[in-house]
Amino acid sequence: MHSMSITNDYIVGLIDGEGSFTVYVRDPKSSKITKRRVQVEPKFYVKLTAEDKPILNGLKEFFGCGNVYFQKDTRKNHRNCYRYEVANRTHLTEIIIPFFKKNRPKIPTKKRDFELFCQMMSMIEKGKHLTSNGLNVLYQMKKRMH
């Protein structure tokens, strides 16, 4: 990174604006076999335009996990983006969640998403997503996410 130092406050501000705590949950009611074999897929990511890619590389360095991906945008007047993403459950549990528990998001919707994310992650860790009841609960929680 250039002279810009990534601080905890800077990260919280960035996440409040551009970050997402999300969990893909397969619809328990959909009987059709989807390409995605997974039931649940938790993710933390930040999306920025190509010119801001050094910031994403900085986040990867700061957290010491995750990857930076190119994200093409074919929509008119939209620029191509890059995404810093952490999908590894161990990294989410041991690095990302503890950081944001100490450095809480400030924006109410982001705060709520993070709290739901933590609850969902602990359910997933207990294997609750492997039961149809648990998957249902997770699916309902996912719907409350921003």
pLDDT computed for residue 34 by the predictor: 59
Helices 53-63, 8-18: inter-axial angle, 10-degree rounding = 120
Considering Cα of 31, then 37, then 41, then 45, what sign does the dihedral take? negative
Q: Which CATH class is domain 8-143?
A: alpha beta
Give per-residue pLDDT as tens, 80-117. 899 999 999 999 999 999 999 999 999 999 999 999 99
- Domain spans of the chain? 8-143
pLDDT computed for residue 37 by the predictor: 67
d(CA 30, CA 127): 21
**Whole-model pTM over 0.75:** yes
Give per-residue pLDDT as tens, 48-73. 999 999 999 999 999 999 999 998 87
Q: Mean pLDDT across the stretch 19-47?
A: 84
d(CA 115, CA 18): 17
4 pLDDT exceeds 70?
no
Side chain identity at 113, as an amino acid letter? D
For the chain, give the mean pLDDT. Answer: 91
With beta carbons less than 8 A apart as the criterion, state whether 97 and 118 touch.
yes
d(CA 46, CA 16): 10
Lowest model confidence (mean pLDDT) among 31-35, 60-64, 126-130: 31-35
Q: Mean pLDDT across the stretch 1-30?
A: 87
Q: Which helix (H) or strand (E) holds 12?
A: helix 8-18
